[in-house]
Amino acid sequence: MYEVTVEAGFSSGHYLRNYRGKCENPHGHNYKVRVTLAGAALDEAGLLLDFKLNELEPFTVLNPSAENIAKYLYDQTNEQLAGMTAGRVRVKDCTIWETDTTTATYYE
Ligand SMILES: [Zn+2]
């Protein structure tokens, strides 16, 4: 199997509903995202994927916790990869840094 990893950052405000603690009131985070892709075959150029992150949609219903953001990006990326690579490449895992020292990871 081959794996490729991309990291990107984005800043966003959020708050958590039905929650008592640091994230209950509106505030911002500088999130970091790391997505690892996996596939058994390379393309004609010898690449697993020329990777680009798409823009985030707003979380209108789902609580924007790091865990939910990780799953959202995992699902969105996997959905796009399925069409782009005909199932050749899938997302292995997606990790979100909400601070320098705390992460949440989603995988299946
Ligand atoms: Zn927060």
Contact 25, 15 (CB under 8 A): yes
Among 51, 11, 16, residue whose Cα is nearest residue 28 = 11
* Dist. CA 19 → ligand 1 center (Å): 11
* Dist. CA 28 → ligand 1 center (Å): 7
* Dist. CA 76 → ligand 1 center (Å): 22
Whole-number Å distance between alpha carbons of 10 and 22? 20
* Dist. CA 20 → ligand 1 center (Å): 11
> Is 0.85 topped by the overall pTM?
no
HSE-up (13 A, CA, CB side) for residue 10? 15
Give the tokens for residue 73: 């990006």
* Dist. CA 98 → ligand 1 center (Å): 7
| pLDDT for res 53 | 53
pLDDT (tens place) for every residue of the chain, 108 residues total: 998 888 888 899 999 999 999 899 999 999 998 888 899 998 887 888 765 554 334 455 667 788 888 898 899 889 988 988 999 999 999 999 988 888 989 999
* Dist. CA 29 → ligand 1 center (Å): 6
